[in-house]
Structure 1
């Protein structure tokens, strides 16, 4: 009987009726295969788009947008999903950990809102898991440009929604000079995308426009530094400028200390890591659901100044970031200076079919480098060249 079952299975595989997992063991190493179907332990394609990963007590927790099939699949009909893994290749579905409201029409996260790019961090002082995400209100398109926060006592939820923000209302960024804060500009005479308009954006045109109500917050990530301070990094000013905002000690609000990165540079999809005391960020340009060339930056302080390092991708497909867009940079536990670049291949016509592109983030001449690999495993980090002798001591708060 077993021989018959094995023969039938072989026939199905040859006929293409059964697909092998994109992350499977070959020999002793579990392979990561970018851009392919990634089944969870139940055999279903992982549904955690635009996500981020938290490592807690020996387990990785992957949080992401729960998509549905069809053109309307980007509206949030269920909430934020989560998966858990001990090895970054075998993922267990932990279900929806932040559920949208079904009946309370006064809730900001009523069914049909848009929740994007959820990121979860752990606050060691409060013992709370804190989730931040880009929030667009139901029926408002992308006009709201808010960031929402929720908390839980467990990484697998349930998370309780608290509130949303337009960050830093009534506060100037630390790197915009006072001479520009009171600048008067007649916006009616400015034509978008002209050199004159770009110069005004660089000089804080939209910061002044949104000063009282708070700044726009769209694509975002959260980064916890090695001294415990957390930062919310988000695309703002009509997606033209990145804002880096310091969070309160409980990670639930903003302190009012913030800075701008690449004014008028048109960056979104920020992902950040820290290596040898320096901060590295990878972003994308703004071309809707279509991929574009990634950008990279480096800074000595998280508040800047930041220096552009150009496109980190090299080789065939580099001009489109291998048909993907950045979402997170994951430090690999137990390996020094080992990072995984996480990105999404969006499928706007059928969002549930979005694929994941994970690649080893390597460094050459102190610059982040991404090369396409059809399949790879964590041993790639053991093969890196000798580490630089740069200091790895904890840095002081900026």
Structure 2
């Protein structure tokens, strides 16, 4: 059940380990180990998500470089494709950062958690990502959007925004809209301070300029409506916003979820008529215990279900030393889902590993257990 946490410190180690594997066909998932693509190079798609289109899977993620500097965007968003989920073909850089210093997408900005969805109406592929501006750390808290007529790109960057400017959430009480409070006069993290956060102190603060949008994901429902789910209000509260019909902008129709609970890394999926969410707490690059929740509608209300992980105390407390990024429904297999997580290595960003594990259900609650190796045939359901 246990797996040593391997931290190979150099790109030389990565290349050396995968050269022998580059001609082999992967037939098993080995979470936390090196995962070579068709060129024998460790897959470079961190904080990613997967789109299934035309009988093929496409994995989009952050392209990292060696060293601590690799946590910024020096290249862009990488794309890989697969027909079986085990073996991945390098499709190149789908979205590139630029040298133009007048562009918000300039090199050394921060691009995180890119997700791509397909708009059937316009026959366009739409990518959204968490975007922080160069030299500003995490103060901008924006989300960016890019489009392409081809799934693998290149994607054309359109804009970055703080969403829902001048709009109130659909589930925010009128009495709270008029409330005024000076947060500087309240002891930070005290019970009184946290109550004001839940009551929307940061929401009201950001109404005129637009809300914060950090860790994010996308979800397309069965009716074609798309939702942008992101950490907002200083990461205290999740915002779930319906996108416009073209998926390129926000409608202003949004809801707050898990108010004041401090959730990051949202991953949303649907099973039957229920919507599920897996998130993490807020501990920077360090792993923490996962959370899960369920709702009857993307806007909620969301009911917390607790930590979905099962295993040793260390595994449960750290989500197997990973952080959620996406939940992948396996095409052609009912009720089959894969937890996708990242094992971050911020001191050498390119060496980040991927934790893919099967999701099972106990009494309609998601459960994630550790396997040193596993196969798709072991997932619930039948192909």
TM-score (norm 1): 0.89
2:327 corresponding residue in structure 1:
329
Query: Any idea what the Cα deviations from partners look like across 1:361-385, whole Å, max 9, x if unmatched?
Result: 111100000000000010012568x
Count of aligned pairs: 365
CA apart distance, 1:188: 2.3
Structure 1 residues 180 and 92: alpha-carbon distance in aligned structure 2, compared to 1, 3 A threshold: same
Q: Higher Cα Rg: structure 1 or 2?
A: 1
CA apart distance, 1:315: 1.1
Residue of 27, 32, 37 corresponding to 1:35? 32
Does 2:78 match 1:84?
Answer: no
2:343 corresponding residue in structure 1:
345
Residue of 92, 96, 109 corresponding to 1:99? 96
1: CA distance, partners of 2:380 / 2:286: 34
Residue of 297, 302, 305 corresponding to 1:306? 302
1:376 corresponding residue in structure 2:
374
TM-score (norm 2): 0.93
Secondary structure of the corresponding residue to residue 276 of structure 2:
strand
2: CA distance, partners of 1:23 / 1:144: 44
Give yes or no for contact 2:18–2:40 (8 Å, CA) kept in 1.
no
Does 2:352 match 1:354?
Answer: yes
Give yes or no for contact 2:335–2:380 (8 Å, CA) kept in 1.
no
CA apart distance, 1:24: 6.6
Does 2:149 match 1:156?
Answer: no
Does 2:65 match 1:63?
Answer: no
1:364 corresponding residue in structure 2:
362
1:126 corresponding residue in structure 2:
122
Query: Any idea what the Cα deviations from partners look like across 1:240-284, whole Å, max 9, x if unmatched?
Result: 111001100000000111011111101000001100110000000
Structure 1: stretches of 5+ with no match in the other structure:
1-15, 385-398
2: CA distance, partners of 1:358 / 1:87: 14
Structure 1 residues 105 and 249: alpha-carbon distance in aligned structure 2, compared to 1, 3 A threshold: same
2: CA distance, partners of 1:23 / 1:202: 54
Residue of 213, 216, 223 corresponding to 1:217? 213
1:232 corresponding residue in structure 2:
228
Secondary structure of the corresponding residue to residue 47 of structure 1:
coil
2: CA distance, partners of 1:343 / 1:22: 23
CA apart distance, 1:50: 0.0
Residue of 185, 191, 204 corresponding to 1:189? 185
Structure 2: stretches of 5+ with no match in the other structure:
1-15
Query: Any idea what the Cα deviations from partners look like across 1:155-197, whole Å, max 9, x if unmatched?
Result: 1100000001101011110111101010011222112111100
